Structure 1
Amino acid sequence: MSDWLGPQEWMAVQLSLRVAFWATLVTLPPGLFIAHVLARHDFPGKQILNGIVHLPLILPPVVTGYVLLLTFGTRGPVGGFLQEFGIVFAFRWTGAVLAAGIMAFPLMVRAIRLSIEAVDPRLEQAASTLGASRLWVFLTVTLPLILPGVIAGAILAFAKAMGEFGATITFVSNIPGQTQTLPSAIYAFLQVPGGEDAALRLVAVSVVVAMGALILSEVLARRVQKRVGGA
């Protein structure tokens, strides 16, 4: 692929894979927690929490990116505090991870939540009556049963993070080699004369990655489901 893509294109692909990987990895634990809370618990403010989780799907991505800039920028309340410890998100690849993770988070939570809701609560209750703690019940009963949904949610989140553009470019700009991801590179190439060929190559890479993620999600989910069902 490095022979087919130019240096700037290849850097954009590598950075996108890096950003998508870390965005998925970092959001998976809180995604599991929030999905379980929404699926298994009733409490005041549940609908508000559900709305906040899914807000990035409804808001224009540019708005999400601007809110991130106001909050995590070097002059923002959180960003200014973190800067004192040498942690900077704005205009860094780590900021791209944050933006992509937030945009992909609702898809991950929804997939996992639907999987948890499909599990018969009586199985978890039976384990609890035997003296198992809530954490142990989740790890030994719930998690194996929802593993196909977890895998599907993680892969869909990865694909979403790979394709994130609006929030990312607003929060971390479009700096080649530093914050220029696949969508940002496509946008940049379309703005210059003669850049259509490079943009087309990156579009092809994006389509292959997206389709590959969807197919892999289905294959892995079915294999895990068969293994769990056979067990």
Structure 2
Amino acid sequence: MITVRHAQDRGHANFGWLDSKHTFSFGDYYDAKHMGFSALRVINDDVVQPSAGFATHGHRDMEIISYVLDGKIAHKDSEGNIQELPAGEFQLMSAGSGIYHSEYNASTTDNLQFLQIWIQPNSFGNQPGYQQKDFGKRAGLTTIATPTGEDGTLHIKQDATLHQLILEPGTELEMAIEAGRNVYVHHVEGTLKTDDVQLENGDGAKIEDQTSVRFTNQGESRATALIFDLP
């Protein structure tokens, strides 16, 4: 079964320096029907004005993934990590027992757009950690994060796997789904058909009680999506 969350139906907050679309309930946006999906708790599509950003604030016991769509993040945290995260790269910050960080638009002239993703961990009070990597833009499924950190993937503290899906025009890919698993698709760009359901930029889809799903790109440009394999 596929349940679509259309981009235009997401929650919305605009603070001037930040324009954010919320797939699930977050901040002042609350919808009892959209509190998350399995261990996936937050997908915020954030657009940050030049030189603006999130001042130092704290988190604990949350796996926080940032994926930059356009621009560059200037990151600083209480574990001593001072990094820049450019478009196309993934960052995974494990808040664990507690971490403070700030995230700013590194540009003084251009907007920053990135996805802020929170996944609830399956163990608590761990040592905070920081990981960052560019996985490239290879067509097909590229595994980004796994529970074991195998094969150079980011190590996430949950029985969850994150894939990057890229399909060239006129191509398709079928993904097997293990029994009892849930899959969430967040569509990033292009047009993507998920089984018989068409997804556009910013759309999301819950996939439940299926043994496989077929992704098809019938558009004229490359399609990109994030695929979450969840307990």
For the aligned pair, the TM-score class normalised by the smaller chain equals under 0.3
- Higher share in strand: 2
**Using CA pairs below 8 Å that are at least 6 residues apart, which structure has the higher relative contact order?**
1
For normalisation by structure 1, the TM-score amounts to 0.24
For normalisation by structure 2, the TM-score amounts to 0.24
Which structure has the bigger radius of gyration? Answer: 1
- Higher share in helix: 1
